[in-house]
Amino acid sequence: MEELDEKPSWYVLLMVVLGGIVGLVFGSALGLLVGWTLYQGNGDFLHLANDPDEYSIIPLMTMQGVVSIFSFFVFPYLTWRLFRRKSIHILNTQPFFNLSLAFVAAILFSFMVVDSFFIEWNQHIHFPEFLKSFETWARTSEDQLAEITKKLTQFHSVGEFATGFLVIAVIAGVCEEFMFRGIIQNELYRGTKNIHVAVWVSAILFSAIHAQFFGFVPRMLLGALFGYLYYWSGNVFVPILAHVINNGFLVIMIYLNQLGIVKIDVETEEAAPWYAIIIFAFIGTGLIYYYKNFLDQKKNRPADGQ
């Protein structure tokens, strides 16, 4: 009887999206208020989102974190809970195993090397002549966004780095994975009964929400990896961990590069050498295979923390 009373997945997804939009509006207003309170510079804070200065990094990062929390977590969860009438605990069908940390970190590192090929390819894609105006607009928009992002990640202190890590890695990892894997992927799977459709559609939406066409494919592939990790593990903390590791590694490497400790520029669009891509493609495939087998063996067993 309870199943008969459940709302269709498409209806739940629609309500969740609407909830996310409401959360975006509310979070933007609240984030602006918080950021304005934290700002100690002399400029007009309202205009600094398009041209950040060194005094606005923490306020703008804090604003971004507040927006993420309300648009990807709080309002979507409340909406999902209202219409799905389920507890958040149903997102986890299996326990989290400590060994997942090592597996996920190694898989992510291998994926980063392989994904560099798609990053370079996607950045240099060109449109037919009749779409040149769109290409020009898209590149201009993304170049402006990249410039803003670069200014926001010019950390002048440990405090700015810590704030950036918290917002870009932890908050984004938790909130986005809860939304796209925990809710959207689960609802798509419930509606279609096809995990591949659920994984790839949620990955496409995950990439689209970032509004970066020339980074669409690599981010979609990353989202798909998160989706399969979630499906295989049955625990939403696995893709959350993967997301935090991915974003956190990039933030740490950016900061270490600024300090002169490492010379690797992770923001480059240049792909890794072809032989490295091939080697890490095999390594990553092997790691995924062994991790999936590890999870299959652990399924339906009491949690042992191993």
pLDDT 10s digits, 52-73: 877 788 999 999 999 999 999 9
pLDDT attached to residue 304: 42
Give the type of residue at 205.
L
Give the type of residue at 63.
M
Q: Which residue has the higher pLDDT, 163 or 45?
A: 163
> Would the pLDDT of 232 be above 80?
yes
pLDDT attached to residue 129: 86
pLDDT attached to residue 141: 86
> Would the pLDDT of 144 be above 70?
yes
Mean pLDDT in residue range 27-31: 95
Ramachandran category for residue 248: left, alpha or beta (phi over 0 → left; psi -120 to 50 → alpha): alpha
- pTM listed for this prediction: 0.91
Q: Are 187 and 9 in contact (CB under 8 A)?
A: yes
pLDDT attached to residue 303: 44
Q: Which residue has the higher pLDDT, 50 or 223?
A: 223
pLDDT attached to residue 49: 72
Interatomic CA distance for residues 280 and 214, integer angstroms: 24
Q: Which residue has the higher pLDDT, 39 or 103?
A: 103
> Would the pLDDT of 13 be above 80?
yes
pLDDT per residue as tens digits for the range 98-137: 999 999 999 999 999 999 999 999 988 888 888 888 888 8
pLDDT attached to residue 148: 83
pLDDT attached to residue 2: 45
Per-residue three-class SS string for the chain: CCCCCCCCHHHHHHHHHHHHHHHHHHHHHHHHHHHHHHCCCCCCHHHCCCCCCCCCHHHHHHHHHHHHHHHHHHHHHHHHHHHHCCCHHHHCCCCCCCHHHHHHHHHHHHHHHHHHHHHHHHHCCCCCHHHHHHHHHHHHHHHHHHHHHHHHCCCCCHHHHHHHHHHHHHHHHHHHHHHHHHHHHHHHHHHHCCHHHHHHHHHHHHHHCCCCHHHHHHHHHHHHHHHHHHHHHCCCHHHHHHHHHHHHHHHHHHHHHHHCCCCCCCCCCCCCCHHHHHHHHHHHHHHHHHHHHHHHHHCCCCCCCC
pLDDT per residue as tens digits for the range 186-208: 999 999 999 999 999 999 999 99
pLDDT attached to residue 117: 95
pLDDT band at 142 (very low <50, low <70, confident <90, very high): confident
> What residue segments make up the domains of the chain, in order of their start?
1-86, 98-298
Radius of gyration of the chain (CA): 20
* Share above pLDDT 90 across residues of the chain, in percent, rounded to a whole number: 67
> Would the pLDDT of 299 be above 50?
yes
pLDDT band at 300 (very low <50, low <70, confident <90, very high): low
Mean pLDDT in residue range 149-171: 92
**Average pLDDT for the chain:** 90
> Would the pLDDT of 3 be above 70?
no
